Structure formats: structure tokens, C-alpha cells
Structure 1
Amino acid sequence: MSSPKTPSSTGRNMALLAAFLGWLFDGFEMGLFPLIGKPALQDLLASHIAPEMMTATLDRWFSVIIATFLVGAATGGVFFGWLGDRIGRVKAMSFSIFTYAIFTGLCGFATEAWHIAILRFIASLGMGGEWALGVALVNELWTKGNRAFVAGAIGAAANIGYLLVAALSLGMNTFIGTMRSWTLALGGSEWLANYLLDHQAWRFLMIIGALPALIIFLIRIFVPESDKWEDEKAAGKTSHWSTVDLNGVLIGAIAAMVIIWSWSPMGIDAGITSTVAAVITVVCFAVVVWGYLLPVRRYLSRAETAGSITTESRIAVRRNLILGATLAGIALLGTWGAAQQSAKWSTSAELAANGYTNVAQFTQIATSVGACVFAFIAPVIANILNRRLTYFIMCVAAVSSALLFYKTNTGIGPWFFTSAFLMGGLTASFYGFFPLYLPELFPTSVRATGQGFCFNVGRIIAAIGGLQIANLVGVFGSSASAYSALCAIYFVGMALVWFAPETKGKALA
């Protein structure tokens, strides 16, 4: 059977644009909830929570919603990756974007805190899936010579979304005032304006989160399917997937939620000690890995029986799944332990304000701009050197920049924002590297599922590590020392990467 026609340059560009916009909106929504989550919960909880209980109840719900997001994204990465390998990248990416856009928009109509938890869990399924599918699609459509640019663009996209959130936060009062005037001028009632724009306009901002659904029309009309996936379909290799294997993903998601619950305030209230939580974490994380790997393992077994792959290929894929997930988990844990804490730390009592205002917003802008810059630089370096050496250098640079930021700043000033730029960029350089490297670890038949597993299981590792921050603060006595301690994970990456395959110069299988 002849190979499908090679996509035109327009088709490749439209695929990159669709993936870029999808991940940009992912980043915007991920950064948006920390901005509007607390006013949203204050609004929803005010009618049935006593004022003296509000802070504690709000913090618990906030933790639960963040945890459900991380587990949902991990689950969605595997589920939609599986769907992309089975029915095609383009169709599955359309479904994933529709999922996160529509269910983010529905959050704007929530009337209870648990509504947001459930809706954001479903939305995050699509967010986790969109990354794996977009990376697989553009890598398979673009030529090898352009893949470093593609990886950098995808790595920068989410951070541009974070940058937009920081800019929105700076102009929030002006934004709300303008939208209120427009609502009334267009004939909207005072009640509608209050409903949409009170409490920092959280309902309005959630509702407009549905706008990325418009990207689906762009994808379905202009974006071609991967010719590599079409070849796999023509060869019958997409028929080895089975829906029943998704039960493992469901079991894995439940186990992940149990881990997060055991370390959360709810688990502590239930009498779960740190020792018990550690045991639960080890056991349940083994279940997570087993469950999320089940669809791929079953696929590989069927494909080997049918003669579609060799035993050596099956073993190599399983090894790369574990290595890729661990390398991604190290990077994600470092990010959540360092760069993601910088805005919060900037307003803490550990730093002197020195007359600066809007410090958290400008800190996020500094880290986001750095992330955008270094996301483009990392894949270029990986093409000049090689994949393993580049990852090693990124680990060295990331841990050095984090220690520089948290150990040399005692107050807000020019050096604070300069070091924030460096830390934000160097810890985020991995997100330009992974769209280049992870596709090279897997053949086309399991590429989307493999990437989804590797990158998104890393989110669960990051969630587990992030839940230890309070314990680390108690041990080290300060937030800066706790964040620095979490960044020691990069030393594991420096050693582990030498066991990963070197893929520079090798064509995608």
C-alpha cells in the first residue's frame, strides 16, 4: 500500500499553530486559577461557612482542586494519548481541546465548591492530553531539521499563557471596570454585571475559558493527519489497542488521588500520620505506574503476538517509558519546588519589600519571560551537543539558578528580578527539551501514549513532592531552604540521564 501524500508546508504550519495555541491556552488557564481561585471559593462558600472557618475551609478546597487538576492532567495524558494512537492525532486533539475548553467554561456557572473540583478535573483531562497529542503531531509532520524550532515553540507556549495571566493580574481592576461598562452599555442588567464581574470577575474569566474550543474548527479544516500515523493504520498496527485496558488508567487515577488525600489536611484530620502516608504513597504509586502502563503493555503484547513488533522493541519501549517518566518527573518536581513558588515567596516575611508593589505579578512576569527564552534555547543546544549531555547541563543550571535565587535574595530589588528571570528560564528549559526528546523514545504506534505517560506521570511526582513543602519548612525553618531542598532532585537527573538512550541524529521510528 502506498504511503499517504506528504503534508504541505501550510498543513505543517497550521498543525504547529494549533498545537501552540492549544498549549498557550493551557498555560493561561493553569495560571488563571491561582489568581481567581480564592475569590471564587470565597463567593461559593460564603453562604454556608462561618466567617471564622472560612480561611481553613478555603485552603482545604484550594488544595483539593489543585490536586484534582494534577491527577486529571496525568490521567488525560495517558487516555488521550491512547486515543490519539488509536483513532489519529487530529481527531483526538480536537476532543482534548473541546474537553478542557468547555469544562473550564462551565466552571463559571458553578454554585458549589465541589462543582469546580469536578469540572476542573474533567477539564484537566483535556489539558494533559493536548500536550502529548500536539507534540506527537507536529513532530511527525515537520522535517527533522526543523524539530528544534518546533520543540522550542511548544515549550514557550504555556509560559506565554502564564505571562498573559500576570499581565491580566496587574490590570485586573481596570479590566473589570471596562467589562462592567461594556456589559451595561450592551443592554446587560446590573444583576448580570454583578453576577459575572463581582469577586474579581472569576465567573466571567472562567466562561471565556471556553474560547479555545474555536481552535477545533481550525484543526478540523486546516490541519492534516500525521502521515506516519496513517502508515501505521494502513499496516494494521492501530488495531492492537483495546478499550478494556483503560480500566487500568481509572485504577491508577484513583490511586493517585489516595496519595494526595493522605498528605492533605483531610488525611491529617483522618488520623493519617507521615509514616502511614509514606507507606500509602509507595504502594499507591506502584499502582499508578501499573495502571497507566497497562494500555501500552497490553498493546505491545498483542502487537508482538501478531508479529508487528519484535521482543527487543517491546522491551525497549517499556524501558523508555520508565526512564522518560522519571526524567520528566525530576524536571516537573524541580519546577514546582522552585519557579512555581517564587511569586508566593516574593510576598513572604522572609523578604524586605523595599517599597516595591505588585511584587508577585512582576516576579511571575520575570520567570515567565525567562521560561519563554530558554525554552527556545534548550532544543537548539540539544541539536548541537546531544540529548543526554544537554539534560545533564540543564540539571546543573537549574539547581544552580534556584540556589542563587533563594540563597542570595533578602529583599526585593533589581537582582531579585534578574535572578528570578534566570531561575524561571533555566528550570523551564526542560519544556523545550522534552518535545524534542520524548518523541524520539517511541515508535509512531505508541508515541502519543508514551509521551502522555512520561510527561504527565511526572505531574503526580511533582504533586507528591509539592505536598512535602510544609514538612520541609518545618525541618529547615524557612520557605527558601525548603524550596532549595526540593531542587536537590536535579542531582538525581544528572546521574539518571546517562542510562537513557541517546537519540541525536536518529530519525523518528
Structure 2
Amino acid sequence: MSNWYSESSPLERRTFWASFGGWALDALDVQMFGLAIPALIAAFGISKADAGLLGSVTLFFGAFGGWLGGALGDRFGRVKALQITVATFALATFACAFAMTYTQLLILKAVQGLGFGAEWACGAVLMAEIIRPEHRGKALGSVQSAWAVGWGAAVLLSALVFTYAPADIAWRLLFALGLLPALLIIFIRRGLKEPPRAIASEKTPFFATLSGIFHRDVLRATLIGGLFGIGAHGGYAALTTFLPTYLREVRHLSVLGSSGYLAVIIVAFFCGCVASGIISDRIGRRVNVAFFASACIITVLIYIFAPLTNGEMLVLGFPLGFFSAGIPASMAALFSELYPAGVRGTGVGFCYNFGRIVSAAFPFLVGFLSDHIGLGPAIGIDAAFAYSLVLIAVLLLPETRGKVFEQAAATRA
């Protein structure tokens, strides 16, 4: 990260840290759910399928949030939309701590999904428009690595809270802590500059902005990008939603033990995001994604189906996290380069988040299939199928590396 970062202007650096912080906060709030699944099952007396539905609802509404958030950024400005989205998902996560019934928690998880889906769309496009094109892949890959930071923070908080607090209130404390970082992110974003291309779209009707991505000039990109999103999010959701549960209930690891396994994957995810950004700028978006998607399929199948010892699982956890990071790390740059200025946020938000509508079924399917074939095979089959869709989609997209956006120099000035 050092070379491109040292060459960046003060505005580019402020935008980077704002986007990085927002995405880390997203991950903190969302990943706490996966870590709390066993406690939620006990607290509300629900099945694994019911727990999976909570994750599916978040992903489903996150899809609509991303599409709407991207359009709001195109119509009213990226920075304004960012502050609203951060407040939305942070407050929803905090409210989850006070849910008294399964239905209440289900509704709050839907609101959380709207917020975190919209946040990524606004932040990713803002970063893509501010940064110079030769560093776009590296900058956005580094922003994506913030997910590992938030994920790691969630694992640490979970280990501490569930170790020292009674199980029946530990999950509530965990969700309540999700509110705190939002104050810092909102403060940072107050000093950001709105890109001129976003301001120029203020007179466009909002519905026209939403539907602009289905115009014949960009329809192909929208359809293939949506397929890409299905595979990327489906694989990630199938793998990570129930991974903590798999490590505890199938591999019989303690909370601290499973946190150690997750730590390896999280560190690897961070490294994979940064590496994917560097490779993407050097050899192109398509080859980069194809490599990481193929590696994901192979690694997931080995991790779940091979008769590995606990020590071998720990070692293999690094390539699992590394390769799974390369796909989402490439999406912001690739999708931003597929669309013109007036619908860039809408297009990025739709392609990235449309996958959540379909991929919302993956956690539910994992939970359902686990009752018939076991949790491990359910995770492995769903994840491998999803990553195969990514491989197909990227082969149908054009190469966009180095694309120069409109008024790029004026924005960075």
C-alpha cells in the first residue's frame, strides 16, 4: 500500500481512510451476527434454518440498500449518503441488543441490511472517483481489506464477551457495542469533498437514475455484473455465516479455539485483498478474478471435505481466507469502470448487491441441507457452486483496467 499511498493527495488519503473506516464498521456489525448464532439459537429456541434466515434477510435487504444507496449517491451526493447509511446500520445493530422476540430481531436485521448495503455502494464509488486510475485497484483492494479489520474486531469482542459474560446476555452486549465506532466515522466524513460528477446529476429524476442501469448501452454489464455478484456473495455467505458454528459444533473447538482458527482466515483475507488490488492493477481485472475464483473452488472443497487434523485446518485456513478475499477486493474497481458518471453509483450498487438477493438463500440452504447431509458438506457444496458462477461471469466481461473517469483531475485537485 505504501507506494500508491505516498503518491496520493491529502484528499485521496482522507477519502481512503473514511471509506476504509466505514467498511470496517460494516464488517464489525455484520460479522457479530455469525459469531452469535449459537447463542441466538439457544436464546430464542430456533433451528439452524431459522438462524440462517436471519442472515438471509440481512443480505436480501442489503441488496435493495445497495441499489438505493448508489442511486442516492448519484442523485444527492456520495458524502451525504454515506453519513446516512453509517447511522442506519449502526443504530439497527444497537437495537438488536434489545430484541425480545425472534420476529423483532428479524425486522432489525432487515434494517441493518439496508444500511450496510448502501454504505458500500456510496463509499466504493467515492473512492473510485477520487483516486487516480493507475492506483484504483490497489486503493479499492485496500479499502476492501477493512472488512478483515472489522471482522477481526468482531472475533475479539466475541471471545471477550462470551468468555466473561453469561451466555444469555453476552450476545446482547455484543450487538450494543456495534454502535460506538459510528461516531468516529461520521466525524471523519464531514471533511470530505463531493466529486463534481455526483453534483452534476442533481437534476436527474430519482427513478430515472435507478432505471438508467437497464439502458441498452449498459444492460449487458448490468446483467453479467449481477451474476458476478451472486457468485461472490453466495460463496462468501455460504462459507462464513456458519463457519464459527462448524468449528465449534463439528470440530468441537472452544470459543477461544475457534477464534484462533478464524484469526488465521481473517489475516489471510486482509493480505488477499491487498494482493488482489496490486495484481489487478498490474495484469488486469479479468485475469485476476479468474485466478482467485478458481483457487477458491479448490481450497473450499479441500478445507471442508478432506480428512484434515485440527493443525492442518489451521494451516489451510490461510489460503482459504487469502483466495476468498481476491474476488470482493476486485469488485469495486471493476464495476465502477463499467458505468458512466450519471449511473455509476447505481450500477456499482446494483451489481455488487443484486447478488445478495439470490445469495440471501445460501445461508438458509446451508442450514437446511445441514439437517440432511451435515454442516460441513452443506457449506462446501454451496460455496463451490457460487464461486463457479464468478468464474463464468468474469470471462464474459470486458477488461477495464486504467479507465479514466470524467473530470478526474478536477476531483483530485
Instruction: Mark yes or no: TM-score above 0.5.
Output: yes
Q: 3-state SS of the aligned residue for 2:181?
A: helix
Structure 1 position 106, deviation (Å): 2.5
- Aligned twin of 2:5: none
Q: Equivalent of 2:175, from 202, 206, 213?
A: 206
CA deviation after TM superposition for structure 1 residue 110, in Å: 3.2
Q: Pick the aligned partner of 2:343 from 438, 446, 453.
A: 446
- 2:12 aligned partner, one-letter code: R
CA 1:207–1:409: 2 relative to 1, 3 Å? same
Q: Deviations over 1:262-314 (max 9, x none)?
A: xxxxxxxxxxxxxxxxxxxxxxxxxxxxxxxx8532x469xxxxxxxxxxxx4
Q: 1:359 to 1:481 in 2, by over 3 A?
A: same
Partners of 2:141 and 2:274 within 8 A in 1: yes
Deviations 1:10-36 (A, max 9, x none): 222222111111110110111112333
CA contact (8 A) 1:108 1:207 kept: yes
Instruction: Give RMSD over aligned pairs.
Output: 2.6
Paired position in structure 2 for 1:384? 282
Equivalent residue for 2:409? none
| Partner of residue 262, structure 2 | 364
Distance 1:32 1:495, change over 3 A: closer
Q: Assess if the C-alpha contact under 8 Å between 1:18 and 1:219 holds in 2.
A: yes
Q: What is residue 189 of structure 2 aligned with on the other side? A: 219
Is residue 406 of structure 2 the alignment partner of residue 504 of structure 1? no
Partner residue of 2:245? 344
Deviations 1:422-470 (A, max 9, x none): 1122012112111221111111211111111111111122222333335
Partner residue in 1 for 2:22:
22
Distance 1:407 1:198 in 2: 31
User: In 1, distance between residues paired with 2:61 and 2:235?
Assistant: 20
Which residue of the partner structure matches residue 111 of structure 1?
Answer: 100
Aligned length: 397
Please name the residue that 1:240 is paired with: 204
3-state DSSP of counterpart to 2:29: helix
Using the TM superposition, give the Cα deviation of residue 38 of structure 1 relative to its aligned residue in structure 2, in angstroms: 5.1
1:301-320 alignment runs, 5 A limit: 314-320=215-221
Cα drift, residue 489 of structure 1: 3.5
Shift of 1:97: 0.8
1:19-418 matches, cutoff 5 A: 19-36=19-36, 39=39, 45=44, 54-56=45-47, 59=48, 61-172=50-161, 176=165, 199-214=168-183, 215-220=185-190, 222-230=191-199, 233=200, 237-242=201-206, 245=207, 296-297=210-211, 299=212, 314-349=215-250, 351=251, 358-413=256-311, 415-418=312-315
- 2: distance between equivalents of 1:458 and 1:27? 18
Change in 2 beyond 3 A, CA 1:97/1:503: same
1-side partners of 2:395 and 2:306: how far apart?
Answer: 31
Per the alignment, in what secondary structure is the counterpart of residue 507 of structure 1? coil
Higher alpha-carbon Rg: 1
**In structure 1, C-alpha distance between the alignment counterparts of 2:122 and 2:59, rounded to whole Å:** 18
**Distance in 1, Cα, partners of 2:292 & 2:356:** 19
TM-superposed deviation, 1:492:
3.6
Residues in 2 aligned to 1:471 and 1:203: alpha-carbon distance in whole angstroms: 26
CA gap 1:11/1:62 in 2 versus in 1, 3 angstroms: same
The match for 1:465 is: 362
Kindly state the Cα deviation for residue 96 of structure 1 after the two structures are TM-superposed. Answer: 0.7
3-state SS of 1:347 partner: helix
Q: Does the 8 Å CA contact 1:12/1:223 hold for their aligned counterparts?
A: no
Q: 1:85 to 1:206 in 2, by over 3 A?
A: same
Letter in 2 for 1:326: L
Q: What runs of 5+ residues in structure 2 fail to find an aligned partner?
A: 1-7, 407-413
Q: TM (normalized to structure 1)?
A: 0.72
CA distance in 1, matches of 2:160, 2:177: 17
State the alpha-carbon separation in 1 of the partners of residues 115 and 143 from structure 2. 16
Assess, with a 3 A threshold, how the Cα gap between structure 1 residues 199 and 484 changes in structure 2: closer, same or farther: closer
* Secondary structure at 2:310 match in 1: coil
2:193 and 2:302 map into 1 onto residues whose CA distance is 45
- From 480, 485, 490, give the equivalent of 2:376: 480
Please, which runs of 5 or more residues in structure 1 have no aligned partner? 1-7, 46-53, 177-196, 246-293, 302-313
Q: Is the 8 A contact 1:85 1:446 kept in 2?
A: yes
CA drift of 1:348 comes to 4.2
Gap change, CA 1:472 and 1:107, over 3 Å in 2: closer
When residues 343 and 357 of structure 1 are mapped into structure 2, their CA distance, relative to the original with a 3 A threshold, is closer
Q: Percent identity?
A: 25
Classify 1:462/1:359 alpha carbon distance in 2 versus 1 (closer, same or farther; 3 Å): farther
- CA separation in 1, counterparts of 2:363 and 2:176? 29
1:347, distance to aligned residue in structure 2 (A): 3.2
What letter corresponds to residue 228 of structure 1 in structure 2? R
- Provide the C-alpha distance between the structure 1 equivalents of 2:98 and 2:363, rounded to a whole number of angstroms: 30
Task: Report the Cα distance in structure 1 between the residues aligned to 2:62 and 2:254, rounded to whole angstroms.
Answer: 36
Superposed CA offset, 1:151-204 (max 9, x none): 12221111211111222233335664xxxxxxxxxxxxxxxxxxxx77243333
Aligned counterparts of 1:373 and 1:104: Cα–Cα separation in 2: 28
Offset of residue 473 of structure 1? 5.0
CA shift for structure 1 position 389:
1.4
Q: Distance in 1 between matches of 2:388 and 2:106?
A: 35
Aligned partners of 2:59 and 2:357 also within 8 Å: yes
Give 1:505 deviation, angstroms.
2.5
In structure 1, distance between residues paired with 2:104 and 2:129: 38
Q: 1-side partners of 2:118 and 2:162: how far apart?
A: 34
CA pair 337-100 structure 1, distance change in 2 beyond 3 A: closer
Q: Report what 2:320 is aligned to.
A: 423
Deviation at 1:498, TM superposition (A): 2.2
Deviation, 1:42, is 5.1
Runs of 4+ deviating beyond 6 Å:
none
Per the TM alignment, residue 60 of structure 1 is displaced from its structure 2 partner at its CA by 6.0
Distance in 2 between residues matched to 1:356 and 1:479, nearest whole Å: 18
Q: Which amino acid in the other structure matches residue 329 of structure 2?
A: G
CA contact (8 A) 1:74 1:453 kept: yes
Q: Using a 3 Å threshold, how does the CA distance of structure 1 residues 72 and 343 change in structure 2: closer, same or farther? A: same
